[in-house]
Structure 1
């Protein structure tokens, strides 16, 4: 089946989805930091994570946000966890959703991982509140 020439490329779609989730300011800052060292990696994640997985119709952005936050918490990816918590203002995942996800992390990935993630969530939400809800 021939691809519709009017449809965006996987990279363009990925950038659209990435901006809708993380916000233009974040994506612009991150894009400005790309160098020759990570250019191909950034293209890969834009096309695969954002242009394929996040763009899929299988889950809502809210659901993807919750799953992503739980996985990042379980893996101890603190900076990415905070970034995705901030992105919930764009995905519709609520603070209660995140608390429930982190409770699952406690059972399935361990109490220390969940405890640490709750600390990051509290600090992130405090920062968002102090900034008037801004990311």
Structure 2
């Protein structure tokens, strides 16, 4: 049994991406159409998984070129893997910062201090974490 192909409008709707973004990703080699139905590009359903991965990588700050390399990476791609490890560390820092902000805002919502900015808990939540000493 053959899987039903999706036209570009359906892929756009399901992925939340504009058709122009799909054409851009195609031009950059990140996705490939399965063919055409009249004038419309068609894609296999698994393109949605690939687009989800691309969107996640874009949200993490990877460039289109890096994503292209990522999609064909092998265990020997040490430079790319180092970049991924660096990005993972950056995301950990972002998560820690956002967690402090969330906790500070939750505290502020019920804080009884006369001025919020004088509350030690609020200050602590928004203080920059101690930076490691360079070696």
Both structures adopt the same fold (TM-score exceeding 0.5): no
- Which structure is larger by alpha-carbon Rg, 1 or 2? 2
Higher strand share: 2
Higher helix share: 1
With the length of structure 1 as denominator, give the TM-score of the two structures: 0.29
With the length of structure 2 as denominator, give the TM-score of the two structures: 0.29
